[in-house]
Structure 1
């Protein structure tokens, strides 16, 4: 049995390394994201030096653009009460914030912080393979979000278009399963902005997917933001929901 297991792992490793870096990146995207329209709840909690300092709960509705394959998303605030029913629309290169009290929509940058170290671009569903070019892949041991050593494939990603939220990303994926382990996000100047760990894999839509992302600030490691995903549901996302002009008329179900 042990020999069979080792042989199986060897085959997985050989298959992974035979794939191109871009194919490995796309495989990790498929683990994080379903390939059909869906909804979920994203609960964000910010910690400073181990103490909770802020929290938000968001309802997210996402579906892939049939032309480019990148996800488009509508985000609705559920909590705190002061932000309830505010909206964020992410459609291609455009991101808009809508406040129902003022009826005004304001253009946002995906890099702007939404809460803690989670940016606007972090809370929406993203296929990295659509916005980044994986320029290299190498085998490397790394620690996961539970501080366990994992044999991984290290991917170097460069922004491939203006839609990319970050200039450069280094990502580690499990060598045998292609599950994403962690990512480091860098600015154009080479500054480490933050590190994200993908954790708590659970069966969702017939596949093991991460249900928690831990984001650690690049300069202040005691500044941590945790995003937890729950209430996954396969659902239709009407095309009208993804249009800026429709935001004032949007009514939650």
Structure 2
């Protein structure tokens, strides 16, 4: 009897130990997504230059240059962003503002601002919601879909965690996202973006990682159209800087008076 009790305790200990190891070995999807967000986005107010370059069948067809000012909202959730158009000449000083779930476009020539959708295309495969700073962990509910070996934007094989992200509200730019993160560094490697119908809208590859504002971040995203892969948009980030961004800049009624300092 004593031997049986000892054997039972031993078996229970083995089972508990195995469950503990499994719990440790299985990463938490929300924590993975938050770690990836921290790599993509600085946590303090900052500015950067975003250059959008559109290609069709390998030939450049268009280019926009934007200055983006971003800071986390007072409730600590999503970012507020103000985007100024620097080129081409026809678009200079136009503004794009994201405050909460509201997205506004301001044209200084008419001095009018209008509500717009984050899903609308800005240039090529880049939507309005792509150029403002976004915490995916705030807008999407993640689940761990497994681990995969995938080819990254530099055609290197990477071992990745695959996350499936489902929009928490209709205001999100995409209904769902498949996101692959490097299993060692949690850096974003690849993403696929879907409409509510399940249609693949585009695929993105995160590239050119370098030290910016305290950590290694992707400074280029290659976006490939989901229906016609001949259309490609490259988003390049440069001129990262910590910035003092007044709250007034993030107000809709201030757009007509905005002057960068």
TM-score bin, normalised by smaller chain: over 0.9
2:100 to 72, 77, 92: 92
Corresponding position of 1:40: 48
Contact kept, 8 Å, 1:16 with 1:176, in 2: the verdict is no
2:162 to 127, 150, 154: 154
> For 1:121 and 1:159, how far apart are their aligned partners in 2?
13
Corresponding position of 2:178: 170
Structure 1 position 164, deviation (Å): 1.4
Show the 5 A alignment for 1:132-211: 132-211=140-219
- Comparing 216-225 with 135-144, greater Cα deviation is found at 135-144
> For 2:117 and 2:76, how far apart are their aligned partners in 1?
20
> Does 1:245 pair with 2:253?
yes
**Where does the alignment leave 5 or more consecutive residues of structure 2 unmatched?**
1-21
2:60 to 52, 55, 58: 52
> For 1:16 and 1:112, how far apart are their aligned partners in 2?
42
Structure 1 position 16, deviation (Å): 8.6
Corresponding position of 1:6: none
CA shift in 2, pair 1:173/1:135, >3 Å? same
If the length of structure 1 is used for normalisation, what is the TM-score? 0.92
2:236 to 216, 228, 242: 228
Cα RMSD after superposing both structures = 1.3
> For 1:18 and 1:220, how far apart are their aligned partners in 2?
37
Contact kept, 8 Å, 1:69 with 1:130, in 2: the verdict is yes
What CA deviation, in whole Å up to 9, does each residue of 1:54-90 have, x standing for no partner?
0000000000112142111000000001100000001
2:73 to 54, 65, 81: 65
If the length of structure 2 is used for normalisation, what is the TM-score? 0.89
Residue aligned with 1:185, SS: strand
**Where does the alignment leave 5 or more consecutive residues of structure 1 unmatched?**
1-13
Contact kept, 8 Å, 2:144 with 2:161, in 1: the verdict is no
> For 2:209 and 2:161, how far apart are their aligned partners in 1?
18
Structure 1 position 15, deviation (Å): 9.8
CA shift in 2, pair 1:74/1:15, >3 Å? farther
Contact kept, 8 Å, 1:68 with 1:130, in 2: the verdict is no
Larger Rg over CA atoms: 2
